[in-house]
Amino acid sequence: MARSKEIIEKLARMGEGVLEDVEAGKNPSLDITIRSLNNVYYDEKSGLIKLGDEKQKRYYFNLAQAKKFLQTILIAKQIKALLEQDKPALSIRQLFYTLKHEIPGTGENTFDVQEESDPIIEDMELMTDSLREELNLIATPNGVLAGPMIVEDKTGDVLDFTKMGSAGGAVPPIVEDDYFHIKEMSADYILVVEKYAVWNLLNQEKYWKKNNCLLLTGKGQPARAERRLLARFGEEYKIPIYVFTDMDPWGYYIYSVYKSGSINLAFFSEKAACPRAKYLGLSVKDVMDFDIPRSSWVKLNEEDFKRMEEIAAYPWFKKERWQRELADLKKFGYKIEQDALVSKSIEFTANNYLPTKISNNDYFD
Amino acid sequence: MARSKEIIEKLARMGEGVLEDVEAGKNPSLDITIRSLNNVYYDEKSGLIKLGDEKQKRYYFNLAQAKKFLQTILIAKQIKALLEQDKPALSIRQLFYTLKHEIPGTGENTFDVQEESDPIIEDMELMTDSLREELNLIATPNGVLAGPMIVEDKTGDVLDFTKMGSAGGAVPPIVEDDYFHIKEMSADYILVVEKYAVWNLLNQEKYWKKNNCLLLTGKGQPARAERRLLARFGEEYKIPIYVFTDMDPWGYYIYSVYKSGSINLAFFSEKAACPRAKYLGLSVKDVMDFDIPRSSWVKLNEEDFKRMEEIAAYPWFKKERWQRELADLKKFGYKIEQDALVSKSIEFTANNYLPTKISNNDYFD
């Protein structure tokens, strides 16, 4: 059964449940999974930041919940209709606009601000056990990628990511198999690069060709599409996956989002994290191993130290190797950006740093 | 003569000038164009925000200028060397790292922070009358585009922008002719869309195919590459160019950046603005003409009113039609996002709004 048909049925069942409540004279209710921090945990076994099972009921006859109940039904109904009619994907802001209107004769709006509809869309993802993208709702993607992969797009276009010029191929907003069908993929490994400027340098040097790998960047903190794409790669191809970021707490965190998910979108981790991903650097040991010039070290500031402490306390950074790295960084007192490697030479990242690290298995979890 | 060779010669002449000063026993100096607001003006004839000719001298023997003089020479030398060696393009942060080092025996760094090197790169653009991209320095591009255009990239790849799938083709960091050579372009017009979500909706509906146009988005405020690309389109193809933004002061300003340039990058306007671009909407008149539902109107807030006043005072918004529009908006009291048109119907933008506006010549300058 097509995925959208499954979701339509789930939404229909949800509506029927409400109807049964009404017919039985009960207060209509919906089961909503709680998305507060209390219901978020790190699952060591899977390596994922997950959402727990705690649920609460959203009632119709409850002064505090009636409007939200109505809004939930409106959104479920709209998503169902849009899926049934096979409409183009919308942004969550556009979905908000399709639903925002005055309830006739009341002077009351269905929705006033998008902050009302966004969390209900997250409720929907959980109620139908689907990704927002499967509900035909998208976020703006930012990433680009290059390397030995051929994809058949939903449009019918065939995209060869070895022939995407100096821009690379753009990551589309929906990377599910029926939109972004990977026909061929012969990379030996996948390299995720935090920053566009470094990705671009590697792309110009055809790093992906010389090393037969896929080269992806999310341009800093990745958007949903890049995370989901990496998760697909992790599941579908048993090749190594490396994440190359700055040596600072922000770089570490970006790595952990790709690998384990994020707290805010814990419900998204299972489908959009890649627990097999390894941290390729930079690490404090590299500074000496590769003789990174002192002039490219940047003093850690107060905010960095604060963020390091927060990160050290996250359960997904509790592994001994990470605790040591964080302690080393604290002692070292400087951060180093991946950009800084050009101070050795412009080709250093592509010709020395990355190949050495990879061939020495010099990465960690 | 190749562009990079021209620039190399200009940089060499600059160095020779300094040497001549030294040999003549004069205080070595460089002529630097002033980039302060006082030297920025709106040139009505060309429709561009321009930088004036005011220059100042930067001296070597001047306590306040010596370091900056040295830094200027270092950057000029490095750019020349990188161009001569045909090195890959760098970001301005990476260029900073290639130059940051301790001057032996002084305990003094050439550069401490990037805020020192960035303005000197702008000096270089002016001194060599070139774009940063021609100095092989790039900014991160954000845009995507689709439509009837075939490009030969510097890599040798041939890119067909009618076959770029649901992502569209990514705008590369350098869009100069030798990097991004347009081999075929048969669009009837170019449509620039402020927001990715709206661009994406139009792309899904194959608007560019049905209307034989090029569809570009810079994802909000455009980066350098998208501005420069639109400027090239404006110069090289005599087809109409429309910019479609939100009906609010921020949308108006984005339009004006594409069309006339920006104050901060006034020296960049001549090469990266597109004075032929027309404003396609939304306009206050459209609200009635197209019966945009009241529920999608969003009250203008204090910040909006403030920004509107600023915009009304800009010389490039002094045209009668714009003053009327700004007055109308103020009176109307609501802003409308381009996303909001989905409240009419999801297909409304593609099937009604845009074709009607274009066929009625319902746009303005």
> Across residues A35-50, what is the average pLDDT?
94
Residue A305 Cα, gap to closest chain B Cα (Å): 20
Prior bond of A354 cis (ω within 30°): no
Q: Which of B138, B163, B185 is the last residue of a domain?
A: B138
Please report the pLDDT score of residue A107 as a whole number: 84
**Which H or E run contains B335?**
strand B334-335
Q: What is residue A352's DSSP assignment?
A: I
Kindly write down the DSSP assignment for every residue of B247-264, as one continuous string. Answer: BSHHHHHHHHHHHH--ST
Query: Which of B110, B133, B140 is the best substitution to test chain A (most A C-beta atoms within 10 A)?
Result: B140
Residue B131 Cα, gap to closest chain A Cα (Å): 18
* Token duo for residue B179: 């990097």
CATH of the domain at B255: 3.40.1360.10
- Say how far apart CA B89 and CA A201 lie, in whole Å: 7
A61-82 pLDDT tens trace: 999 999 999 999 999 999 999 9
- Whether A219 has its CB under 8 Å from any CB of chain B: the answer is yes
- Say how far apart CA B124 and CA B10 lie, in whole Å: 10
Whether residue A192 contacts residue A231, with contact meaning beta carbons closer than 8 Å, is answered with no
Q: Which of B138, B173, B206 is the last residue of a domain?
A: B138
CB contact under 8 A, B294 and A102: yes
Residues B89 and B112 in one domain: yes
Q: Which chain B residue is nearest to residue A91, measuring alpha carbons? A: B197
Confirm whether B354 is domain-assigned.
yes
Confirm whether B71 is domain-assigned.
yes
Q: Which of B105, B138, B171 is the last residue of a domain?
A: B138
CB contact under 8 A, A159 and B141: no
Q: Which chain B residue is nearest to residue A342, measuring alpha carbons? A: B98
- Say how far apart CA A138 and CA A131 lie, in whole Å: 10
> Across residues B233-251, what is the average pLDDT?
97
Residues above pLDDT 90, as percent of chain A: 94
As annotated, the active-site residues of B are 97
Residues A133 and A157 in one domain: no
Please report the pLDDT score of residue A264 as a whole number: 87
Q: Which amino acid is at B146?
A: A
Q: Which of B94, B157, B294 sits opposite A164 (nearest CB)?
A: B157
Please report the pLDDT score of residue A1 as a whole number: 55
* Sign of the dihedral through C-alpha B76, B79, B82, B84: negative
Q: Which chain B residue is nearest to residue A219, measuring alpha carbons? A: B140
ipTM: 0.95
Residues B148 and B133 in one domain: no
* β-bridge partners, B30: B58
Largest CA distance in chain B: 75
A215-274 pLDDT tens trace: 999 999 999 999 999 999 999 999 999 999 999 999 999 999 999 999 989 989 989 999
B36-81 pLDDT tens trace: 889 999 999 999 999 999 999 999 999 999 999 999 999 999 999 9
B93-140 pLDDT tens trace: 999 999 999 888 888 899 999 999 999 999 999 999 999 999 999 999
Residues B198 and B52 in one domain: no
Q: Which residue has the tokens 């930012």?
A: A142
Residues B183 and B301 in one domain: yes
* Token duo for residue A78: 């709209």
Residues A344 and A246 in one domain: yes
Residues A230 and A89 in one domain: no
Query: Which of A133, A226, A295 is the best substitution to test chain B (most B C-beta atoms within 10 A)?
Result: A295
CB contact under 8 A, B342 and A94: yes
Asked if residue B238 has pLDDT above 90, the reply is yes
A339-360 pLDDT tens trace: 999 999 999 999 999 999 999 9
> Exposed/middle/buried for B13, CB within 10 Å: 0-12, 13-18, 19+?
exposed
Please give the tally of structural domains in chain B: 2
Residues B89 and B220 in one domain: no
Please report the pLDDT score of residue B112 as a whole number: 92
- Say how far apart CA A55 and CA A41 lie, in whole Å: 15
Residue B135 Cα, gap to closest chain A Cα (Å): 15
Q: Which chain A residue is nearest to residue B155, measuring alpha carbons? A: A165
For B:88-127, CB contacts with A below 8 A are 88-91, 93-94, 97-98, 100-102, 109
Kindly write down the DSSP assignment for every residue of A242-295, as one continuous string. Answer: EEE--BSHHHHHHHHHHHH--STTHHHHHHH--TT-EEEE--HHHHHHTT--GG
Residue A352 Cα, gap to closest chain B Cα (Å): 16
* Token duo for residue A199: 């990705």
pTM (2 decimals)? 0.95
CB contact under 8 A, A197 and B94: yes
- Say how far apart CA A263 and CA A271 lie, in whole Å: 14
Closest CA to A170 of B21, B258, B141, B239: B141
Please report the pLDDT score of residue B93 as a whole number: 97
CB contact under 8 A, B340 and A97: yes
For A:318-337, CB contacts with B below 8 A are 337
The set of residues, in sequence order, having a beta carbon less than 8 Å from that of A345 and lying 6+ positions away, is none
Largest CA distance in chain A: 75
- Whether A140 has its CB under 8 Å from any CB of chain B: the answer is yes
Residues B167 and B303 in one domain: yes
DSSP 3-state assignment of B270?
A: helix
Confirm whether B282 is domain-assigned.
yes
- Whether B201 has its CB under 8 Å from any CB of chain A: the answer is yes
Please report the pLDDT score of residue A281 as a whole number: 82
DSSP 3-state assignment of B51?
A: strand
Residues A267 and A330 in one domain: yes
Closest CA to B234 of B279, B189, B199: B189
**Domain of B214?**
144-360
Task: Give the other-Cβ count within 10 Å of B192's Cβ.
Answer: 29
Whether residue B261 contacts residue B323, with contact meaning beta carbons closer than 8 Å, is answered with no
- Say how far apart CA A338 and CA A205 lie, in whole Å: 16
Residues B248 and B286 in one domain: yes
Instruction: Show the CA angle centred on residue A174, arms to residues A168 and A177, nearest 5°.
Output: 95
> Across residues A181-198, what is the average pLDDT?
98
Q: What is residue B364's DSSP assignment?
A: B
Please report the pLDDT score of residue B335 as a whole number: 97
- Say how far apart CA A329 and CA A326 lie, in whole Å: 5
Residues above pLDDT 90, as percent of chain B: 94
Whether residue B205 contacts residue B352, with contact meaning beta carbons closer than 8 Å, is answered with no
Q: Which chain B residue is nearest to residue A156, measuring alpha carbons? A: B165
- Whether B218 has its CB under 8 Å from any CB of chain A: the answer is no
- Whether B339 has its CB under 8 Å from any CB of chain A: the answer is yes
DSSP 3-state assignment of B338?
A: helix
CATH of the domain at B2: 1.10.10.10
- Whether A299 has its CB under 8 Å from any CB of chain B: the answer is no
Q: Which amino acid is at B275?
A: P
* Token duo for residue A158: 């065939």
Confirm whether B365 is domain-assigned.
no
- Say how far apart CA A312 and CA A319 lie, in whole Å: 10
Residues B78 and B217 in one domain: no
Asked if residue B1 has pLDDT above 60, the reply is no
CA–CA distances in Å: residue A59 to residues A21, A28, A30, A337: 11, 6, 7, 51
Confirm whether A365 is domain-assigned.
no
Confirm whether B119 is domain-assigned.
yes
> Across residues A163-188, what is the average pLDDT?
97
Query: Which of A82, A95, A96, A97 is the best substitution to test chain B (most B C-beta atoms within 10 A)?
Result: A97
- Whether B296 has its CB under 8 Å from any CB of chain A: the answer is yes
Question: Which residues of B make up each annotated binding site?
Answer: 194, 246
